[in-house]
Structure 1
């Protein structure tokens, strides 16, 4: 229940639970407001407001902000790069090397096929999966590495051309996090150089403050949790105090396996996917008003114990007369 309540309402509810029926009325939100909320609503959920301080409210001793790190996926989250970026780059690399399928036709990944292939995390792994699917026996890991290196260069040229913009709300949310001393990182299965180039689209100053965990930095890629676990360990934050921004079921599974909260921003190839385990699902960060308070609230909503009030909430009978 609490995971679908905006951050601006979480503290009043917590305070009301502590105070019992006598004090609940002064803090509880109206029933009409609660009835319209959903973690999967596409409508704006939270009005932007300054991040509450640890002492805000005054009624809960020891309450502290739970959000320590904001971890972004790259492709589909920072920019919608898959269809008009990576796919095009793969096809050009195939064409340059005159790669042909067993039936003699050139290898070309159309939009529909690529939508299926993106279910495999990692570019080299994606090619290997495709070659196995079509029964192409000439493909091996060494060829995949060679093609991926060329594909990465082509992709970098596409990014440099400015034809693939950052998604709405990304820069704003990054700025809000940095302003509040929340650590920001990008965790991706893509090549580190390609990810760095997309991050640099935010400007050199922002990019210098964002740590990147990408490519083969971990042995097992998403949906394995390894890249998010590495980020938490490196940044010295607890997994439960991280908010992940993802766009796919694979990424969501990785975040959840790492015991992290996750907001999903749907992208071109994930519009029809189901994200039942996400804290929030939106079309984009901007239109849904997802800000640092949203992220903090949805993280805190599962961290009652950090506030020292979990047992009070579980045992409180707010409705008793």
Structure 2
């Protein structure tokens, strides 16, 4: 099957940002009284918008999730990403292959805020592939696991969702892609994460982004 459009998640798929972002979040939540390990923080928040977990955060810290605190989180997160962010191995070639496969009909569709998305894509040299085809869950009525961001990307590319391929790495994101009606392939470098991704609806798992170009060539 030749896909009309290919829609990439960003964090964990194109850039290795999740350990950095969640490290900052864990530290800031501990400062407010909610202590957890880095692994526990990653499991709870991966694929989600921090604001969407307001009720849990306020219950565990006993403090309101204020706009000032969110802005401080963004500032600390962005500073760490700017200093330490790296591209996922093989992602540049994978995006180039998707770009060629669809005759430039690709998009980046993420639950992250737009500033973070654009900053990250510029930093790792992928911005030229996506240009004006970057979609943030913060700009949608609902973020992942709702399908809104993927439906918006498909609509912009004038592609039927059923003819789109979504590349994801979390169960939350896979759920969003499936709900949009797309085919979802899951980047899964850790085998133990595979069952959850398949249960969420991924039709294929692959362990390295270098596998994507030959998979597209055979599609």
Q: Distance in 1 between matches of 2:193 and 2:130?
A: 32
Distance 1:165 1:192 in 2: 18
- Conservation of the 8 A alpha-carbon contact between 1:70 and 1:243: yes
User: Are 2:127 and 1:192 aligned?
Assistant: no
Alignment of 1:115-194 (within 5 A): 115-118=42-45, 121-132=48-59, 134=60, 136-140=61-65, 143=66, 145-161=67-83, 163-180=84-101, 181-194=103-116
Give 1:72's aligned residue.
8
Aligned residue for 1:290, secondary structure, equals helix
Distance 1:272 1:111 in 2: 21
2:209 counterpart residue number? 285
What is the CA–CA distance in structure 2 between the aligned matches of 1:261 and 1:204, rounded to whole Å? 23
| Contact 2:147-2:180 at 8 Å conserved across structures | yes
Q: How far did 1:273 drift?
A: 4.4
* 1: CA distance, partners of 2:91 / 2:3: 17
Question: Which has a greater percent of helix?
Answer: 2
In the TM superposition, what is the alpha-carbon distance from 1:268 to its structure 2 partner?
6.7
TM-score (norm 2): 0.85
Q: In the alignment, is the contact (CA less than 8 A) between 2:12 and 2:18 conserved in 1?
A: yes
For residues 173 and 82 of structure 1, the distance between their equivalents in structure 2, rounded to whole angstroms, comes to: 20
State the SS of the aligned residue for 1:167.
Answer: coil
Tell me the TM-score normalised to structure 1 length. 0.60
Q: How many residues are matched?
A: 216
Bigger CA radius of gyration: 1
Q: How far did residue 120 of structure 1 move?
A: 6.5
| CA distance, structure 1, for counterparts of residue 46 and residue 191 of structure 2 | 10
- Selected match of 1:87 from 10, 19, 22: 22
> Paired residue for 1:315?
none
In 2, the alpha carbon distance for the partners of 1:233 and 1:179 equals 20
When residues 229 and 174 of structure 1 are mapped into structure 2, their CA distance, relative to the original with a 3 A threshold, is: same
User: Is the 2:26–2:38 Cα contact (8 Å) retained in structure 1?
Assistant: no
How far, CA to CA, are the matches of 1:273 and 1:115 in structure 2? 18
- String of CA shifts for 1:153-191, please: whole Å, max 9, x gaps: 222222221x23111121101112333413121111111
Structure 1 residue ranges (4+ consecutive) displaced by more than 6 angstroms after TM superposition: none
CA spacing shift, 1:204–1:229, aligned 2, 3 Å: closer
Residue in structure 2 matched with residue 33 of structure 1 by the alignment: none
- Structure 2 runs not aligned, ≥5 long: none
Distance 1:197 1:270 in 2: 31
1:247–1:270 CA contact under 8 A, matched in 2: no
Question: Is the contact made by 2:90 and 2:209 (CA closer than 8 Å) also made in structure 1?
Answer: yes
Deviation at 1:78, TM superposition (A): 1.2
More relative contact order, 1 or 2 (CA 8 Å, 6+ apart): 1
